[in-house]
Structures are given as C-alpha cells and as structure tokens.
Amino acid sequence: MRTTVKLQRTGHEWLQDRMEELNFRSLRAVAREIGINQGNLYRYFTFENRPSIALLPIMCQVLKCTPIELLRALEVIGKQETV
C-alpha cells in the first residue's frame, strides 16, 4: 500500500483538492453553490483578489472547511499564524 503526504497547499491547488474531496466536478459548480461568479472564485484562489469578509461563512460551508483553513488557503494568514 502506497501512501502519499499532501503538503500544505494553498490557492488553486488547495481548491482543486477540496473540489475532488467534495465531488465537485467544476469550478462553476462550486461558484454556483457559493452564489458568486466563477471568474471571481478563480481570482480569489489565484491571489488576484480577496473575497469580501461577508463571503467567508458561505465559502466555508460549501468547501466544508474552517475559517482558518480558508484564510490559509487564500494566503491571508500564514501557515503558522493563529487568530
């Protein structure tokens, strides 16, 4: 049995991992569940823009993650930082 260790990924790689774990087939499907434009979601996870703080709860709900996990994935806070 072969095991692989996932490094702490961020950005689009993190989003791709979450999508796979949650069986989302497309970025469009995730964006639709969150209630935002697919392009905006892409820009958040490629660090071009940051989402509004008002979006964080629904993003966490859809991506089934904690706010800290999401903020780390978006590189708003560092991997070792705590809130």
Alpha-carbon distance of 83 to 49, in angstroms, equals: 21
Distances (CA, A) of 56 to 7, 12, 16, 66: 23, 17, 18, 10
Locus of tokens 């071009």: 48
Q: What is the pLDDT along the chain (83 residues), one digit of tens a residue?
A: 444 445 579 999 999 999 999 999 999 999 999 999 999 999 999 999 999 999 999 999 999 999 999 999 999 998 776 66
Looking at residue 83, its pLDDT comes to 63
Could you give all domains of the chain from N- to C-terminal order, each with its CATH number?
11-73 (1.10.260.40)
What is the structure's pLDDT at 8?
A: 76
DSSP string computed for 1-42: ----PPP---HHHHHHHHHHHTT---HHHHHHHHTS-HHHHH
